[in-house]
Structure 1
């Protein structure tokens, strides 16, 4: 919502000030289509040259994050802690054998099925199950497990940021591509040097639209989009850090509820449930599930 308001405000302030200063929109309107073709088209082409198909798909999908924000809401953090509570409690009270059926086939697990949104996140499910699987294989050194989890998180986070970096590279290139379009306009103008001054003036104005469009798109739209995308990805990564916090706390011998409380402290403040809210959520888990 704020992004849409920002875009409307951006166009209103830039073009409104131009209009109030007595600017004529005719040269901009006339030059905009082919200048956008030169600048926007070359920016897209450069992205195709410099990025993999996976990154390009991520750029498209990342635009949803720009306007939709992080996919994990406050209720999802409560669900994650409830899921980890059930898994660690099962491991403590019923042993490794009782846990194996849940981590080998999580999509068929009665515990995982209670949290469908989390199950749809392949990395979260694999991250939980792979770590618990290591524990069932007698890797019980908290420091080794924490180090292994940290490496997985770093890899995932690095890959998740590729689309945002690619979009920022596009933003960095747009001013220069705007100059390219402007230079082409100047070349065209110089080829018509014998024309009257009013014709040359209009042609030079059209060429300068290229510089304007490149700078405007870079710092007004594409750059902020890249910053927003990166910020959302950073916030979403906290979800996976909570998994690490809870499972490492479990390995240190803490009770399931204590491990969950340690994980609760890692939740971003706007989405963090209170101690009483989390306690109520755990108490509301049916006895057969626990």
Structure 2
């Protein structure tokens, strides 16, 4: 929906402008765009390494794809954890070592490609399970460890969104800078051709308009979408966290995955009956 939303914003603005008799060519002021976008890019580089720009672009491009954290992804995760916990219950904790040491080669983990594709969540799952296998950490201590891990990941996952949001907030200011520079140029043309003066004034006003439009119509919404995607990744890890906490307390596999299911967003959360049917079917297979 990102592309659709941006098209609606631009379509509404340009459509209204054209309906009022405006000429779109007047809005194409390359110098104003360079000032605003260049200053915004520079402000990002001031507080972040150059590689951060590549990271931001990668995240923005990822928004063009559907979120991998959908109902089916969570169902796959619940089934995988249920089967993994069943292995431990049936064959003992040591039976999990081969799966945890090389999850990419585990047939159980392959049933949840969404987990394998998320290296942070996969490392979180594997490391936390290894702690359980040591038997040296109490469940409440494990829960605290996992909470710290998730909090650190959340800071990292939302950093890009926060930076883009702050940049969006600064866009109107950069637009004003571009407009003031345009006014300075206009003042140098006082006494000249009225048409030329009018052109310079229009160009200056375009800078203000672009700054506001970019801030509230493009950059701000993109930052919001990035934040939402980051929260989905964090929720995926919380789901794992509660399942492992229940597992460490010695609960049954179905209870462990029920703890995880309760932590899923209600919009995509499978019902208990749906989950039980799927995991039992998988277990029987």
| Structure 2 length-normalised TM | 0.93
Determine the structure 2 residue equivalent to 1:231.
228
Q: Is the 8 A contact 1:80 1:118 kept in 2?
A: yes
SS at match of 2:267: helix
d(CA) in 1 for partners of 2:198, 2:224: 38
SS at match of 2:264: coil
Alignment of 1:232-251 (within 5 A): 232-251=229-248
Q: Are 2:38 and 1:41 aligned?
A: yes
Q: Mean Cα displacement is larger for which, 49-58 or 212-221?
A: 49-58
Q: 1:51 aligns with which of 24, 48, 51?
A: 48
1:26, CA displacement in angstroms? 4.3
Shift in CA distance, 275/191, structure 1 to aligned 2, threshold 3 Å: same
Determine the structure 2 residue equivalent to 1:6.
5
1:173, CA displacement in angstroms? 1.8
1:238, CA displacement in angstroms? 1.0
Count of matched residue positions in the alignment of Structure 1 and Structure 2: 285
Alignment of 1:143-222 (within 5 A): 143-222=140-219
Which structure 1 residue ranges, 5 or more long, are not aligned?
none
Q: Is the 8 A contact 2:71 2:268 kept in 1?
A: yes
Which structure 2 residue ranges, 5 or more long, are not aligned?
none
Q: Is the 8 A contact 1:43 1:177 kept in 2?
A: yes
Determine the structure 2 residue equivalent to 1:273.
270
Q: Is the 8 A contact 1:85 1:260 kept in 2?
A: yes
Determine the structure 1 residue equivalent to 2:80.
83
Q: Is the 8 A contact 1:39 1:178 kept in 2?
A: yes
1:70, CA displacement in angstroms? 2.4
1:210, CA displacement in angstroms? 0.8
Q: 1:68 aligns with which of 61, 65, 90?
A: 65
1:144, CA displacement in angstroms? 0.4
Determine the structure 1 residue equivalent to 2:19.
20
Shift in CA distance, 53/148, structure 1 to aligned 2, threshold 3 Å: farther
Q: Deviations over 1:88-124 (max 9, x none)?
A: 2222221122111211222222322333332222112
d(CA) in 1 for partners of 2:53, 2:27: 31
Runs of 4+, deviation exceeding 6 Å: none
d(CA) in 2 for partners of 1:155, 1:84: 24
d(CA) in 1 for partners of 2:38, 2:214: 13
Q: Mean Cα displacement is larger for which, 191-200 or 215-224?
A: 191-200
d(CA) in 2 for partners of 1:224, 1:13: 16
| Structure 1 length-normalised TM | 0.91
d(CA) in 2 for partners of 1:40, 1:151: 37
Q: Deviations over 1:23-61 (max 9, x none)?
A: 3444323xx222112211221222222213453233112
